[in-house]
Homo-oligomer: A and B are copies of this chain.
């Protein structure tokens, strides 16, 4: 879960309502939405609230606003052939969003202390107590992603392989009541390793690279509690984005 709960804020309600109307193609492509003034009346709220909902749709790439003209629908339904990446979400959440069934296998679960080498690429200080996990994610029974997770032990006490095979984020948020705030991600392309080859059933004569997403994730205490390297099969990897020119 994490983001599919019933919102209680007006602007979120309006945002979700408009978003669904757009997805259901109640507005045709390139059509202008009702004016802010009209929406104020239909939803019975202030103009600021409407504008806040619309600005979220802009960052989603659903609409574009044009001063003096209106708000134009530019939503295009996408074909969901491969695994798409969105905001901060667990594998289970992504799988659900992509309308697929996911399964996770824990390959390795151990405790370790950050040495010089680990520190250099996880950014955890030398000497930090960590959980290290290797997990294999299946989508529709095909192994697609292999994850190397480093969790700050002091922030994630009581982690077990059992929990790791289900959903760590669920455990963090609902059992430990941690609030996950933001995640810095870097995407690169790297050479395939023997581990990749073995577990993802890949042939180095075919693709010899992986799509790699490295992320540093922070909670509301401001501590970086997770470093993860996600290695994706290149033929099933897809990252979507909408950029706005300022």
A interface residue numbers (CB < 8 A to B)? 2-3, 30, 58, 61, 64, 66, 72, 74, 76, 87-88, 179-191, 207-211, 218, 220, 222, 234-235, 237-246
Contact = CB atoms under 8 A, between A and B. Distances in A.
Contacts of A74: 182, 218, 222
A243 B209 contact: no
A contacts with B: majority SS? strand
A224 B35 CA distance: 23
A224 B206 CA distance: 35
B87 A237 contact: no
A182 B87 contact: no
A66 B220 contact: yes
Q: How many copies does the complex hold?
A: 2
Given A72-B222, A188-B237, A189-B234, A242 B208 contact: no
B189 A209 contact: yes
A244 B186 contact: no
Contact of A241 (B58, B184, B218, B237): B184
B242 A185 contact: yes
Contacts of A182: 58, 61, 64, 74, 242-245
A237 B189 contact: yes
